[in-house]
Structure 1
Amino acid sequence: MSTSADDYDKLSEEERKIKDAEDRAREKVEQAALPYKWTQELGEVDITVPVPKGTRGRDLNVVIQKKKLIVGLKGKENILEGELCKEIKVDDSTWNLEDNENVLIHLEKLNQQQWWENVLTHHPKIDTTKIEPANSKLSDLDGETRGMVEKMMFDNQQRQMGKPTSDELKKMEALKRFQDAHPELDFSNAKIS
C-alpha cells in the first residue's frame, strides 16, 4: 500500500515509524527476490550478478548501454535485461567476472547528484528519501569544494562565538591597511558592511 506525502504527513510519529518499518521490510523482500544485489553512491551503482560456478568470461553476454543493461549466459535466457532507470556514462562503466561465479558491474551515473529508485525500470523501487549516505571526509572533496566547505565551517564557528566571519575579517584588514596608508583621514565613523 503506498501512502502519498500528504497522507504520510497526517500520520502520528508512532504511525510513521510503523509505516517506515513496514516499507523497509517490503523493500527488503522485493530486493532479495531480484536476481542480483546492488548498492549505490551518488555517482555510481555497483551490481553483483551470481552466475553458475565455473563460468568463464567468454560464456557471458554483457551489454552496457546508456540506458540499457543485459547480463546473461550465451545460448540461455538472460539473467537480467531491461531499461536502466537513469542514464549512465558508458565509457566509464565496466564489468568483470569475479571467482568465475559473480559478474560485477560498475555503472557511472550521468547525473551524479541523484539517487536511483531501482536498477531496471521494471523492477521494484526503493524509497530514495530514506537513503542515509555514508559520511564523506573533507579529504574526499576536490580542492575548490573543500575550500568552500572549510570556509563555511569557519564562518559558522565564528558566528557561534560572536566573532567576525572570514569576509568581515578581510574587510577589516583592508580598512586597516587603508587607515595605515592614510593617517590624515578620520575613520572614527567608518562602518564595515
Structure 2
Amino acid sequence: MSDRPASPTPSERAKADAELKAKEAAEQATLPYKWTQTIKDVDVTVEVPATLKGRDLNVQLSKTKLVVGIKGQPPIIEDDLFSPIHVDESTWTLETASAGKTIEVHLDKVNQMEWWPHVVKSAPKIDTSKITPENSKLSDLDGETRGMVEKMMFDQRQKEAGLPSSDEQKKMDILKKFQAEHPEMDFSNAKIS
C-alpha cells in the first residue's frame, strides 16, 4: 500500500475551492476599494463622500506605485503596485454614484500577459489560477495576427471536411493554371506534394 495521500474527490475539490473563494471574498470585502481586471488592465473603485470635488483628492499614479486619498487625511491606498503600469495610458476620474461619489482608477498593465493576485502589495492575494478569462474576439487582434488565425481556422475546417488546406489549394490552382498555359504537356502522372 502506498504512503501517498489519496487525491481529493471532485466533491472534496469543489468544497475546498468554495472555501478558498469564500475566504478570498471575505478578505477582498475588507479592502477600502473594489477592483476588477482583464488580462490587459486593472480598474479600482474607491467610494468617497458626495460632497467632494476633484480638487479635494490626492491621486497619484506612477509606474510602480498608487496613491488614492482625500487631501488632509491619511491615504485610502498608498502602496507599491503588484506590477508596473503604463502611466500615460492610465487614468482616474471622480464619478457620481447612487450612494455618493467614486474615484475610478484605470491602470494599464505593462505586462499584458499576466493576472494580478492583488492591486497593491500589502493587500490580500486572490488565486489567479481560478480566473476564467473573457473570450477574445478576432476583431481584437491586429491585422497580421487576425489573418494568420483566420487561415488556421479555415485550414482546420478544410481538414475536418477532408478538403485541401489553403496551401494545398494554392498549389493545385498553380498547377491548373500551368496546365492551361501548356496544353502540349502530359500531366497525367503529376503529383502535388
Q: TM-score, normalised by structure 1?
A: 0.88
What are the equivalent positions in structure 2 for 1:1-193 lying under 5 Å apart?
A: 10-99=7-96, 101-193=101-193
Aligned partner letter, 2:34: K
Aligned partner letter, 1:163: L
* Number of residue pairs matched by the alignment: 186
Could you say what secondary structure the match of 2:104 adopts?
strand
Please say which of residues 144-153 and 94-103 is displaced more in the overlay.
144-153
Aligned partner letter, 1:55: L
Identity rate of aligned residues, in percent?
58
Could you say what secondary structure the match of 2:89 adopts?
strand
Larger CA Rg, structure 1 vs 2? 2
How has the CA–CA distance of structure 1 residues 27 and 190 changed in structure 2, closer, same or farther, with 3 Å as cutoff?
Answer: farther
Superposed displacement of residue 27, structure 1: 1.3
CA RMSD of aligned residues (A): 1.9
How has the CA–CA distance of structure 1 residues 52 and 192 changed in structure 2, closer, same or farther, with 3 Å as cutoff?
Answer: same
Q: TM-score, normalised by structure 2?
A: 0.88
How has the CA–CA distance of structure 1 residues 189 and 124 changed in structure 2, closer, same or farther, with 3 Å as cutoff?
Answer: farther
Q: Which runs of 5+ in 1 are unaligned?
A: 1-6
Superposed displacement of residue 17, structure 1: 1.4
Q: Which runs of 5+ in 2 are unaligned?
A: none
Could you say what secondary structure the match of 2:52 adopts?
coil
How has the CA–CA distance of structure 1 residues 176 and 91 changed in structure 2, closer, same or farther, with 3 Å as cutoff?
Answer: same
Could you say what secondary structure the match of 2:16 adopts?
helix
Aligned partner letter, 1:43: K
Aligned partner letter, 2:32: P
